[in-house]
Structure 1
Amino acid sequence: MQNAPVTAARKPLDFTSTAFLIVAFLTGIAGALQTPTLSLFLTDEVHVRPALVGFFFTGSAVIGILVSQFLAGRSDRKGDRKTLIFACCLLGAMGCVLFAWNRNYFILLFVGVFLSSFGSTANPQMFALAREHADSTGREAVMFSSILRAQVSLAWVIGPPIAYALAMGFGFKAMYLCAAFAFVICGAMVWLFLPSMRKEPAVKTTATLESPRRNRRDALLLFAACTMMWGCNSLYIINMPLYIINELHLPEKLAG
């Protein structure tokens, strides 16, 4: 009697999960190409005073918060996150093209930042869609989200050096066009491979509407800690390139 050869069943390639990983990396790259060089771009290309550089970042934060909160509330209630992420990628690409060709401060502040805010929202919306997909397919949601965050972290490790290499070697126009290209590829990946998740109507109860009072103090402390942490991070990102180039007189590419 011959024993039949035992072959291990191969697990088919999960294109959806792979697409999530690629989208997470590309959205991270698109952001990492723009943010680290923004203060240098405003100083050298737009030729604005230091006070206007700070005002630009303040306006960018305010507009970004408003756009992000509006889209987050809308996507949680109705609509398809896939379509929203696709639209955000296209608008983000348009914002990059505007930064590539325009040098008017106020147009960049109000129109460019508005478009870029949609591009920035693509990343958190992608995480929300990934969580819904993981829950619906029985995948470990926490581990999957951790892997996606690792992709974004990887993008921010290699993105800033690439951004400065492009900006210093080929100009800011080439750098922003590369960021726009990343958004376009990301939008294509979203449209072709990411799933559409149907919204389930939420049942509103007293338990879901009211949070325990004892948690509010902890939430306020967490809010204050995150605000200070991200404030320090923003100070570093804004001032570090200018300090290295203008004060230490080191090569511009070293800031990356």
Structure 2
Amino acid sequence: MQTFGAQRQGSVAVYVAMCLLISAASSLFNPVLSFYLNTELGLNPLHISLFFILLPVATILVVQTVARFSDMGLQRPAIICIASLFGIASAFVLHLRPSFLLLCTVGLICLASYPVSFPQIFASAREYGIKHIKKGSLMFTTFLRSLASLSWVFGPPLSYGLALGVSFDMLFLVTALMFACGCVTSYFFLPNVMDKSITAKDAKIAWWKNRSVMILFLSMAFVFTAFSSYITTIPLFVTQELKLPTDMPGYMFGLAAFLEIPLMFLAAKIAKGIGLKPVVMIGCTSLCIFLIGLYFLHTYEQIMALQLFSAIFIACVSSMGMVLFQELLPSIPGQSTSLFINSSTAGQIAGGALISLAASGTYLAIYRVSIAMAIVGTLMLFFVRKPPKAED
């Protein structure tokens, strides 16, 4: 598939628009999904847990398969365009209030396919940065990642505002419109900048034989297991167990995302001095502190204050962690970026399974396991090879 904008040189503005649109659409879907499944579809914790296991498994298979073909020459703008169409389809399926069977078949296909767009945008951005921005490519990637976080500043509060203040139907309509704008932008303006001479030769690299890559993948899967269990359960924990305001989770996510933005640029600056791996380790350590704090501190003010450590984790790991994968596998940006995304998705699988622990009568049982997972994931980073220091 040849898109209209594939032969364009492209611009920073196009990547800015794509990051904002796709990230904003995702930030509307994800925060309320467990709440939607519970309140609108009437699913019990076991069914919700099963769905949150199936969804990441399907997403990993789709994202990594598409990434391999993209590194072999399949145009990234076309992939992103098609993935955005699946985003529109996802909104439509959820609007229909599907049965559990329909949700786990048609809904699963749609919801597992639209995340393909995110790693492809960043893989394309890395190629664009290396080709046109050169020594500023790290800061360019960090800037785009910060824009994704900016979407999460406004997304969760808007998501809860639309769902609770208006209706879930309005939420799905707004989300579908954002995906539609992303589809149009990708088709008409996003350039195809991959180096075909490199792609053909290196796309079949056996990354699974790289010890550091595999350890890093497992480490990220562990820490994202811990974090995703928090993301998935915190709306229910805060509103049902702690009896705090129903709009609090939206403000929590928004505050953390707001703090992430300046911290991401600080993390990039620090990475140029001490390297990518130490910065990622700082982020994982912050996650351990955050989860321990969440286990013991339960007032509105305390939980909001803890968002600083959540923000440090995301700022260091979600931006520099992705670049660390890219530096370990520089010749296959599509697959390396997708490996990072899929390590997060793998964490969602385990994190989704942890939801069933709430059957013990308290969500704190989930956070006990999450703390252990975060500590193990942090310790595993000591065995990852340190790539060269990030250059400006």
**TM-score (normalizing by structure 1):** 0.86
Which one-letter code corresponds to 1:80 in the other structure?
Q
Which one-letter code corresponds to 1:174 in the other structure?
M
1:245 paired residue number: 239
Q: Give the Cα–Cα distance (whole angstroms) in 2 for the partners of residues 52 and 94 of structure 1.
A: 22
- The answer to which of 194-203 and 136-145 deviates more is 194-203
1:165 paired residue number: 161
Q: Is the 8 A contact 2:38 2:44 kept in 1?
A: yes
- Deviation at residue 191 of structure 1 after TM alignment: 1.6
- Deviation at residue 247 of structure 1 after TM alignment: 1.7
1:231 paired residue number: 225
1:142 paired residue number: 138
Q: Give the Cα–Cα distance (whole angstroms) in 2 for the partners of residues 83 and 46 of structure 1.
A: 34
1:120 paired residue number: 115
Q: Is the 8 A contact 1:101 1:173 kept in 2?
A: no
Q: Is the 8 A contact 1:163 1:175 kept in 2?
A: yes
Which of 62, 66, 82 in structure 2 is aligned with 1:71? 66
Alpha-carbon displacement from aligned partner over 1:117-146 (angstroms, at most 9, x marks no partner): 221111110111112222332443212111
Alpha-carbon displacement from aligned partner over 1:18-40 (angstroms, at most 9, x marks no partner): 11111101111111111111111
Which of 54, 59, 62 in structure 1 is aligned with 2:57? 62
Alpha-carbon displacement from aligned partner over 1:83-141 (angstroms, at most 9, x marks no partner): 11111111111111111223312212221222122211111101111122223324432
Q: Following superposition of structure 1 onto structure 2, how do residues 98-113 of structure 1 map, counting pairs within 5 Å?
A: 98-113=93-108
Q: Is the 8 A contact 1:33 1:179 kept in 2?
A: yes
- Are residue 181 (structure 1) and residue 185 (structure 2) matched? no
- Deviation at residue 245 of structure 1 after TM alignment: 1.8
2:87 paired residue number: 92
Q: Per the alignment, do residues 70 and 244 of structure 1 end up closer, same or farther by CA in structure 2, a change over 3 Å counting?
A: same
Q: Per the alignment, do residues 175 and 200 of structure 1 end up closer, same or farther by CA in structure 2, a change over 3 Å counting?
A: same
2:78 paired residue number: 83
- Are residue 132 (structure 1) and residue 127 (structure 2) matched? yes
Name the structure, 1 or 2, with higher relative contact order (CA <8 Å, separation 6+). 1
- Are residue 51 (structure 1) and residue 66 (structure 2) matched? no
Which one-letter code corresponds to 2:124 in the other structure?
L
Q: Is the 8 A contact 2:32 2:159 kept in 1?
A: yes
Percent sequence identity is 29
- Deviation at residue 210 of structure 1 after TM alignment: 7.1
Over alpha carbons, which structure has the higher Rg?
A: 1
Which of 19, 27, 33 in structure 1 is aligned with 2:22? 27
Alpha-carbon displacement from aligned partner over 1:18-70 (angstroms, at most 9, x marks no partner): 11111101111111111111111110011111011111110010000001011
**TM-score (normalizing by structure 2):** 0.57
Q: Per the alignment, do residues 204 and 90 of structure 1 end up closer, same or farther by CA in structure 2, a change over 3 Å counting?
A: closer
Question: Aligned-pair RMSD on alpha carbons?
Answer: 2.2
Q: Is the 8 A contact 2:58 2:108 kept in 1?
A: yes
Q: Give the Cα–Cα distance (whole angstroms) in 1 for the partners of residues 67 and 10 of structure 2.
A: 26
- Are residue 190 (structure 1) and residue 186 (structure 2) matched? yes
Which one-letter code corresponds to 1:86 in the other structure?
C
Q: Per the alignment, do residues 49 and 81 of structure 1 end up closer, same or farther by CA in structure 2, a change over 3 Å counting?
A: same
Q: Per the alignment, do residues 102 and 210 of structure 1 end up closer, same or farther by CA in structure 2, a change over 3 Å counting?
A: closer
Does the residue aligned with 1:33 lie in a helix, a strand or coil? helix
Q: Give the Cα–Cα distance (whole angstroms) in 1 for the partners of residues 141 and 91 of structure 2.
A: 27
- The answer to which of 146-155 and 96-105 deviates more is 96-105
Q: Give the Cα–Cα distance (whole angstroms) in 1 for the partners of residues 164 and 149 of structure 2.
A: 23
Q: Per the alignment, do residues 119 and 228 of structure 1 end up closer, same or farther by CA in structure 2, a change over 3 Å counting?
A: same
